[in-house]
Amino acid sequence: MKPKENNLEQNISRLVKLTGDSDKPSKAFTDSLIDSAITKLEQAGTSREHNPKGKLWVRILSCAAVILVVCGIGFAIFFFTSTQSGMDEVTRQLAQSSQQVGVPASDELVAQPLVESKEAVKLEPANIIYESDKSSSKPAAKPIETSQVPPSKNETKIISQLMPSPVIQQDSQTVSKQLASKSQAIRGRKYGSDVTYDREGKAGDLKKEMDRLSSLESSSSSRVPTSAFVGGKSMAMGVTDKEGTRRRFVGRRPEPSSRGYPMAHGGTTPPNAEPYDAMFFKNYGVNPFIDTEDDHLSTFATDVDTGSYTIVRKYLQDGHLPPEKAVRVEEFVNYFKYSYPAPQEDAFAVFAEAAPWEFGTGRKNSHLLRLGLKAKQVSEENRKPAVLTFVIDVSGSMNRENRLGLVKKALRMLIEKLGEQDQIGIAVYGSRGRKLMDYKGLDEKDEILTEIEMLQAGGSTYAEEGIRIGYEMADRAYKQGFINRVILCSDGVANVGQTGADEILKLIKEKADKGITLSSVGFGMGNFNDVLLERLGDKGNGHYAYIDTIAEARRIFKENLTGTLQVVARDVKVQVDFDPEVVRSYRLIGYENRDVPDEKFRDDKYDGGEIGAGHSVTALYELKLWPDKKGTVAITYVRYKDAEAATVTEFKSSITTDELNKIFDSSTKEFRLAATVAEFAEILRKSYWAKGATLDRVLENAQQLSREFKDDPNVIELVDLISKAKQLMKPVNDTTIENEEK
């Protein structure tokens, strides 16, 4: 074996070559430093061999010389690097533009295709650097530079002392194994032999080792990015897409936070003492009481969304009170099942029930009216085949909380429930949008699952381009008589292209009118846009759901896939006509963002809601009745378009004072469940009409209901959520009382 000093000489050479890019000193400069270092070390080694008696002082001088040379090289590299402008002009423009669109340089990495040259951009752990051939369908793996000697025992220690620890986006154990094995292979190559040596000096077959490394590399994902940050600056970050095009990502090291991921707007803590950073909600207000003598008609579009409830659930389970504007009462109420009997022949059945309303204080002659709408059931065997286009957000923010990992699990569940005629295509978007996979059937299920598993998050968020590409794919693959649905999986954030909703919504509405619907599915807490996702699902004639757990994914994509995919009625609108002789005033609880002008109820061009097979819709009204008045309380009209034909159907149902329950506790358990859930939501959003109400009564009712719905895990979970909210509200209420006393 070579003397240790010679190994150390070569380690210094390898270290200098590690930094060999256009931002570092010239090759002639570094070679001169290396030659000088080698000369000094050789002189020291020769002196030691000819003067064994002076071994100690020669060793000391040798170590001192090595330290001086290494420090000199490090200082020279640092000096030349620091005197430059920091980034070249292209990088500065990218950083500036990312700030303009609201992308923190510490979080997002912007992709640029390498067109001018075959520049080596992938930093390999063992210093084997590859270049890609864009003309080939697979990335060419040909080494263009290798170190000349194997690393010594102390190489890792030396590198860690001279350079900050690189952050490499791969599993650390895998990197260590590849580093060791590649170094061994290089060792055998350097000595011109067909053997390789492990750390104990045992020989092995070089050819077998290199074959093993080649198979290991070819089995890894061609789209997995690798990066290394040195001194807070990105040295290299590359990714090779399926077509063999190598892209470079540039950016700064993401700033760590106390939560383990970078904040959306920089820093380490969410602003204004919020539990999560960059959560976007919209306050739609609270419906008022309306006197029937002023307006006896109440009109709204149906809504089967459930996103608000699951988002609030996530807040409470994490130990935080939700923002008031995150609470939409109708989505709380419609999350639960009420066992409405499904119609046998008609598309819908309507149910009505009313009882005295006792929550809060100051309630006089107040009643709660529940209206239920149940769509016809469709069995899995009778579901229409589907052409599904997944549009998946793979931007850097999808790395947070492993939300992309949850997307993969959810899609696997959906795929397992698909039929033989169903087809799936995939589009993705990060810094740019692109088609990832053309449409495949279940006979190619393994290929579909492989494409999903290989997804990696990185870059900024060009949502507009990704959605447009997805719709272009769906348009070309459109099949008459099939379910043609785009399923968007995202956190809803857009910071490149058209970041507002208007342009995207216009496209979605045009395609929905042609029969290509959209469902938006949200993931993640922090850097999440509830407003955009809710509007996309609405305008796309689909629905909006939020997935926080694998159990929620199972509920949406496995247990009720037919209802999620197959629409039985479009543009469903409800109009309730209250009799002014019986009803003094009314207020619709929730549906603030689903209001429809009364005169537009029979305008079939005006957008309504969509209802899937087996889905139900529940609406609640609080009524003030005239004392001792008898007669019809309300007539409910339902108008909708058939999902297959252009025909429009309207039907009505009524409820009278004779059908009112005398006391709240004598009503059905489904009625009491809807009332309890609605009051819970009203208290959370601090509705004016919940004044005087407390969670004590709500919790008491929920506990009783959990015994009656003992087989419904959602009702049992409701008790836990109300208990958590009660504990979280107690410190807030105590603080309010103390401030009022002062």
pLDDT tens figures, 344-380: 888 899 999 999 987 876 677 899 999 999 999 999 8
State the helix-helix crossing angle for 403-416 and 445-453, rounded to 10 degrees.
170
| Same structural domain, 214 and 225 | yes
What is the predicted pLDDT for the residue at 102?
43
Residue 270 maps to a domain:
no
CB atoms within 10 A of CB 542: 28
| Residue 556 contacts residue 547 (beta carbons within 8 Å) | yes
The residue type at 383: R
Which of 155-159, 274-278, 322-326, 462-466 is predicted least confidently?
A: 155-159
**Residue 99 pLDDT > 50:** no
Single out the residue of 388, 327, 316 nearest to residue 557, CA to CA: 388
As a whole number of angstroms, the distance between CA 343 and CA 415 comes to 29
690-693: which pairs have CB atoms within 8 A and are 24 or more residues apart? Answer: 690/359, 690/360, 691/360, 691/361, 691/362, 692/360, 692/361, 692/362, 693/359, 693/360, 693/361
Same-domain pairing of 302 and 372: yes
Does 200 lie in the same domain as 150? Answer: yes
Same domain, 232 and 360: no
Q: Mark which of 525, 545, 565 sits at the end of a domain.
A: 565
What does the alpha-carbon distance between residue 491 and residue 476 come to, in Å, rounded to a whole number?
27
Rounded average pLDDT over 228-232: 33
Residue 263: inside a domain: no
Flag whether pLDDT at 303 surpasses 50: yes
Q: Above 90 in pLDDT, residue 452? A: yes
**Whole-number Å distance between alpha carbons of 154 and 671:** 73
Angle separating helix axes 4-18 and 55-82, nearest 10 degrees = 0
Of the candidates 303, 308, 346, the residue with the CA atom closest to the CA atom of residue 326: 308
Model confidence band, residue 692 (pLDDT cutoffs 50, 70, 90): confident
Mean pLDDT for the chain?
75
Per-residue model confidence (pLDDT) at position 245: 43
Q: Based on the domain organization, do 239 and 323 belong to the same domain?
A: no
Identify whether 278 is part of a domain: no
Tell whether 285 is covered by a domain.
no
Asked if 48 and 105 sit in the same domain, the reply is no
Question: Are 613 and 732 in the same domain?
Answer: yes
Res 293 pLDDT > 60: yes
- Spatial distance between the Cα atoms of 455 and 436, rounded to a whole number of angstroms: 10
In a domain, 222, yes or no: yes
Between the ranges 274-283, 651-660, 724-733, where is the mean pLDDT highest?
651-660
Q: Say whether pLDDT at 656 is over 50.
A: yes
The answer to whether 640 and 396 have CB atoms below 8 angstroms apart is no
Domain boundary pick from 82, 97, 114 = 82
Domain shared by 69 and 95, yes or no: no
How far is C-alpha 292 from the geometric centre of its chain's CA atoms? 45
Whether residue 404 is found in the same domain as residue 319? no
Instruction: Please tell me the predicted confidence (pLDDT) of residue 39.
Output: 63
H/E run at residue 315: helix 307-317
Query: Do 350 and 391 share a structural domain?
Result: no
pLDDT on residue 478: 96
Per-residue pLDDT at 175: 44
Of the candidates 82, 113, 128, which is a domain's last residue?
82
Whether 242 shows a pLDDT value over 50: the answer reads no
Kind of pairing between the strands at 583-589 and 348-356: unpaired
pLDDT at 136: 38
Structural contact between residues 393 and 658, judged by C-beta atoms closer than 8 angstroms: no
Q: State whether 233 and 325 are in the same domain.
A: no
pLDDT mean over 307-327: 97
Model pLDDT, residue 171:
46
267 belongs to a structural domain: no
Parent domain of 159? 89-250
CATH of the domain at 510: 3.40.50.410
Among positive and negative, which fits the CA dihedral 378, 379, 382, 385? positive
Q: Is the residue at 256 inside a domain?
A: no
How many domains are there within the chain?
A: 4
Q: pLDDT category, 7, cuts 50, 70, 90?
A: low
Tens of pLDDT, residues 49-85: 444 545 566 567 666 776 776 667 666 555 544 444 4
pLDDT at 685 over 50: yes
Q: Are residues 217 and 353 in the same domain?
A: no
Per residue in 527-551, pLDDT (tens digit) is 899 999 999 999 898 999 999 999 9
Residue 330 placed within a domain: yes
**pLDDT at position 64:** 72
Alpha carbons 657 and 338: distance in angstroms, whole number: 23
